[in-house]
């Protein structure tokens, strides 16, 4: 017996039938004697549909009203889930993020949680009720405006509430059986991981694995919240995300060297051609980019051509920010005196992640051999202690991921990974 936070993603509450199924599952947990706090996402593709609607009435997709609009999706699912539970004889009460005490800063669209004051949730739980909270939203401490936490933010709501309520576990329910060694939609032989360390999950999430919101993992690591990622469509044990040192009962096998392969097709590459190769120029370029509040990922600089004393600098950033990066840099072209700008949105990033690579030689060699065997050219390379990433052409991403998955012995022997629902939109 304990306190369990359960988060149900959009595909788990996609329609009335799913909502009833989820309600039953929540009731079972409550009947087993646990206190239950549930966090829900918007039904199915509701958030995307709200964004499409917004586009039809305004070119400005940000600010107070935009956030207010997007939070509506989660309010629909929270009340429906509560109604379904109550009709089954349970006692459920729904709360908006603001009512649940999720306090954020005031940056619309990507607000950060600054504190959680779950007094009303605690009181309802004390009365034996099941609390259902709208994910992905909070309220600004200073302006009292409603904010959203960024796409996928319900995971972060769940972990933040689990930390604030002192939950024993934060269960994240999704449409696959857990965290896989690669996206099962791309690699049918992907295998479910029984456990992943916070560090590995952080690298996977930052490298494009969409299973958990990056900030939810940061939050969980900071507040030691164990996460159990599992399917709402099956009873299978999922993937535990927790500290590497933590011993799990009955576990004897040594941690694998490699956790998995992640890919990301949401970035574009900007190349600044013919940059004078002298101190201060890269600083000017990236100051310009930073002042425009553009967030970049990878950076490479070529060796400068001896004859001209010039070099090329490339960097990647979210494809949606590409146009702004180009216009921003065009403005400083006369001052920096570079020759040209290139924009390329046909790229993908492929990353290999594993805490064991720190202490195992040869991982980088196998990595590049595997890519070369399938004719994939690495255009940019970046590494951390536990990750190797390359940028390649977008149309070979599947080959690259599959080749690495096989080369590192990650292919599952048994059946194919099951994707239970969702449109992958
Ligand atoms: N409904 C929001 C989204 O689609 C938040 C979430 O699902 O976590 O991004
Ligand atoms: Mg999600």
Residue 77's CATH number: 3.40.1160.10
Query: Does residue 140 surpass a pLDDT of 90?
Result: yes
Task: Indicate whether 282 belongs to any domain.
Answer: yes
Task: Indicate whether 415 belongs to any domain.
Answer: no
Per the listing, tokens 């939609």 go with 185
pLDDT at residue 249 in the model: 62
pLDDT at residue 253 in the model: 56
Cα 353–Cα 357–Cα 360 angle in degrees, nearest 5 = 160
Of the given ranges (94-98, 270-274, 415-419), which has the lowest mean pLDDT?
A: 415-419
pLDDT at residue 424 in the model: 47
Task: Indicate whether 193 belongs to any domain.
Answer: no
Cα-only R_g, the chain: 23
Choice from 42, 49, 51, 205 to test ligand 1 binding pocket (greatest atom count within 8 A of CB): 42
Read off the pLDDT of each residue in 63-79 and give the average, rounded to a whole number: 98
pLDDT at residue 252 in the model: 52
pLDDT at residue 325 in the model: 97
| Secondary structure class of 390 (helix, strand, coil) | strand
Task: Indicate whether 329 belongs to any domain.
Answer: yes
Give the Cα separation of 177 and 162 in Å (integer): 21
**pLDDT band, very low/low/confident/very high, at 304 (cuts 50, 70, 90):** confident
User: Nearest residue CA, atom 4 of ligand 1?
Assistant: 47
Q: Quick check: 116 and 164 in contact, CB under 8 A? A: yes
Q: Indicate which atom in ligand 1 lies nearest the CA of residue 48.
A: 4
In order of 58, 215, 240, the CA distances from 96 in angstroms are 26, 20, 28
Give the Cα separation of 413 and 191 in Å (integer): 9
Read off the pLDDT of each residue in 346-357 and give the average, rounded to a whole number: 97
Q: Do 22 and 148 share a domain, yes or no? A: yes
Query: Does residue 14 surpass a pLDDT of 50?
Result: yes
Residue 97 in contact with ligand 1 by CB distance below 6 A: no
Domain boundary among 129, 146, 175: 175
Query: Does residue 238 surpass a pLDDT of 90?
Result: yes
Q: Quick check: 222 and 206 in contact, CB under 8 A? A: no
Query: Does residue 108 surpass a pLDDT of 80?
Result: yes
Give the Cα separation of 349 and 53 in Å (integer): 31
Domain range enclosing 163: 3-175
Percentage with pLDDT > 70 across the chain: 96
The Å distance, Cα 96 to ligand 1 centre, comes to 14
pLDDT at residue 247 in the model: 63
Task: Indicate whether 208 belongs to any domain.
Answer: no
Task: Indicate whether 305 belongs to any domain.
Answer: yes
Domain boundary among 293, 319, 344: 344
Q: Quick check: 160 and 135 in contact, CB under 8 A? A: no
pLDDT at residue 248 in the model: 62
Read off the pLDDT of each residue in 207-219 and give the average, rounded to a whole number: 95
Q: Do 353 and 321 share a domain, yes or no? A: no
Cα 92–Cα 65–Cα 265 angle in degrees, nearest 5 = 85
Residue 313: name the closest of 380, 392, 263 by CA. 380
Domain of 367, CATH number, reads: 3.30.70.260
Locate the DSSP E strands across 260-398.
Answer: 260-264, 267-276, 299-301, 310-318, 340-344, 347-353, 380-384, 387-393
Of the given ranges (124-128, 139-143, 290-294), which has the lowest mean pLDDT?
A: 290-294
Q: Which tokens belong to 235? A: 């009873």
Read off the pLDDT of each residue in 68-83 and give the average, rounded to a whole number: 98
Q: Using a CB cutoff of 8 Å and minimum separation of 24, what contacts does 48-56 make?
A: 48/425
Q: Do 357 and 322 share a domain, yes or no? A: no
Query: Does residue 412 surpass a pLDDT of 60?
Result: yes
Task: Indicate whether 399 belongs to any domain.
Answer: yes
Average pLDDT, whole number, for the chain?
94
Q: Do 55 and 125 share a domain, yes or no? A: yes
Q: Do 325 and 356 share a domain, yes or no? A: no
The Å distance, Cα 155 to ligand 2 centre, comes to 7
Q: Quick check: 331 and 290 in contact, CB under 8 A? A: no
Q: Do 307 and 167 share a domain, yes or no? A: no
The Å distance, Cα 272 to ligand 2 centre, comes to 35
Q: Do 334 and 352 share a domain, yes or no? A: no
The Å distance, Cα 7 to ligand 2 centre, comes to 10
**pLDDT band, very low/low/confident/very high, at 254 (cuts 50, 70, 90):** low
Task: Indicate whether 413 belongs to any domain.
Answer: no
Q: Do 160 and 17 share a domain, yes or no? A: yes
214 secondary structure, DSSP code: H
Centre a 10 Å sphere on the Cβ of residue 15 and count the other Cβ atoms it contains.
10
The Å distance, Cα 64 to ligand 1 centre, comes to 17
Q: Do 161 and 299 share a domain, yes or no? A: no
Q: Do 293 and 358 share a domain, yes or no? A: no
pLDDT at residue 246 in the model: 67
Of the given ranges (88-102, 223-237, 241-255, 374-388), which has the lowest mean pLDDT?
A: 241-255
pLDDT at residue 414 in the model: 76
User: Closest ligand to 158 CA?
Assistant: 1
**pLDDT band, very low/low/confident/very high, at 422 (cuts 50, 70, 90):** low
302 secondary structure, DSSP code: P
Read off the pLDDT of each residue in 295-307 and give the average, rounded to a whole number: 88
Q: Do 314 and 374 share a domain, yes or no? A: no
Sign of the dihedral defined by the CA atoms of residues 210, 238, 197, 101, in that order: positive
Read off the pLDDT of each residue in 400-424 and give the average, rounded to a whole number: 83
Residue 130: name the closest of 9, 28, 14 by CA. 28
Q: Do 31 and 160 share a domain, yes or no? A: yes
Give the Cα separation of 240 and 224 in Å (integer): 13
Residue 201: name the closest of 170, 166, 175 by CA. 170
Query: Does residue 179 surpass a pLDDT of 70?
Result: yes
Q: Quick check: 393 and 422 in contact, CB under 8 A? A: no
Give the Cα separation of 338 and 271 in Å (integer): 11
Domain boundary among 143, 175, 207: 175
Residue 238 in contact with ligand 1 by CB distance below 6 A: no
**pLDDT band, very low/low/confident/very high, at 198 (cuts 50, 70, 90):** very high
DSSP symbols for 219-282? HHHHHT--EEEEESSS----EEEE-TT---TT--SPPPS--EEEEE-SEEEEEEEEEE-STTHH
Number of domains the chain contains: 3
Query: Does residue 255 surpass a pLDDT of 90?
Result: no
């Amino acid at each position: 017996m304990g306190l369990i936070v359960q988060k149900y993603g959009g595909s788990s509450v996609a329609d009335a039938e799913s909502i009833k199924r989820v309600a039953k599952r929540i009731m079972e947990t409550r009947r087993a004697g646990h206190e239950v706090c549930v966090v829900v996402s918007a039904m199915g593709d509701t958030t995307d549909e709200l964004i499409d609607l917004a586009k039809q009435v305004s070119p400005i997709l940000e600010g107070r009203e935009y956030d207010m609009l997007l939070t509506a999706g989660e309010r629909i699912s929270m009340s429906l889930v509560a109604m379904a539970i109550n009709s089954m004889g349970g006692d459920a009460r729904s709360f908006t993020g603001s009512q649940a005490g999720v306090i954020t800063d005031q940056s619309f669209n990507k607000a950060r949680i600054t504190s959680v004051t779950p007094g009303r949730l605690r009181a309802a739980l004390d009365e034996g009720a099941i609390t259902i909270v709208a994910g992905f939203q909070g309220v600004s401490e200073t302006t009292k405006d409603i904010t959203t936490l960024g796409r996928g933010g319900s995971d972060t709501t769940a972990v933040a509430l689990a930390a604030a309520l002192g939950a024993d576990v934060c269960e994240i329910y999704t449409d696959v059986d857990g965290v896989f060694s690669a996206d099962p939609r791309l690699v049918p032989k992907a295998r479910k991981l029984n456990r992943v360390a916070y560090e590995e999950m952080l690298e996977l999430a930052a490298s494009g694995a969409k299973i958990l919101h990056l900030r939810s993992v940061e939050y969980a690591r900071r507040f030691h919240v164990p996460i159990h990622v599992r399917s709402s469509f099956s009873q299978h044990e999922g993937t535990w995300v927790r500290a590497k040192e933590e011993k799990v009962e009955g576990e004897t096998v040594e941690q694998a060297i490699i956790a998995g392969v992640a890919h990301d097709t949401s970035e574009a590459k900007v190349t600044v051609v013919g940059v004078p190769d002298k101190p201060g120029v890269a600083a000017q370029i990236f100051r310009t980019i930073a002042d425009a509040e553009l967030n970049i990922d990878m950076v490479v600089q070529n060796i400068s051509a001896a004859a001209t004393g010039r070099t090329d600098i490339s960097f990647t950033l979210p494809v949606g920010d590409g146009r702004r990066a180009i216009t921003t840099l065009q403005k400083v072209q006369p001052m920096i005196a570079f020759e040209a700008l290139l924009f390329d949105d046909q790229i993908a990033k492929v990353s290999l992640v594993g805490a064991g690579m720190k202490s195992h030689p040869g991982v980088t060699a196998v990595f590049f051999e595997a890519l070369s065997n399938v004719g994939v050219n690495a255009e940019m390379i970046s590494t951390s202690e536990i990750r190797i990433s390359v940028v390649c052409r977008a149309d070979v991403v599947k080959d690259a991921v599959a080749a690495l998955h096989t080369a590192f012995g990650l292919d599952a022997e048994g059946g194919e990974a099951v994707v239970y629902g969702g449109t992958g939109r």
